[in-house]
Amino acid sequence: MGTYNAVKNRILNLCEEKRMTIHELAIESGVAPSTVKNILYGKSKNPGIVTLKMLCDGFGISLEEFFNSSEFENLEQEIE
């Protein structure tokens, strides 16, 4: 799995776990709904660390908790 898919899957899994819609996540995190949708639907494949931190704040978790997930354990090499 690539990094983009791992980030996308982690966001979707956290939304499900926290029982939040994409719109609720956007409101809680202060990130525009269009930005969240662009990340989830592939328009933005490289979200910045500040955006990810804001999303984590919306979820009520730390960046460490975000990345401490099985999705990030065996990522593919991005540079070939």
Question: What pLDDT, in 10s, does the model give residues 19-77?
Answer: 999 999 999 999 999 999 999 998 988 899 999 999 999 999 999 999 998 888 888 77
Residues in the chain: 80
What DSSP designation does 71 have?
A: G
- pLDDT tier for residue 3 given thresholds of 50, 70 and 90: confident
Q: What is the pLDDT of residue 9?
A: 93
pLDDT score for 79 = 74
Q: Is the pLDDT at 1 greater than 80, yes or no?
A: no
Q: What is the pTM of this model?
A: 0.89
Q: In terms of Cα–Cα distance, which of 20, 11, 72 is closest to 40? A: 11
* Dihedral angle of Cα 53, 57, 60, 66, to the nearest 10 degrees: -10
Thinking of the domain 3-70, which architecture would CATH place it in?
Orthogonal Bundle (1.10)
Which of 62-70's residues contact partners 24+ apart within 8 Å by CB, and which partners? 66/10, 66/14, 69/10, 69/13
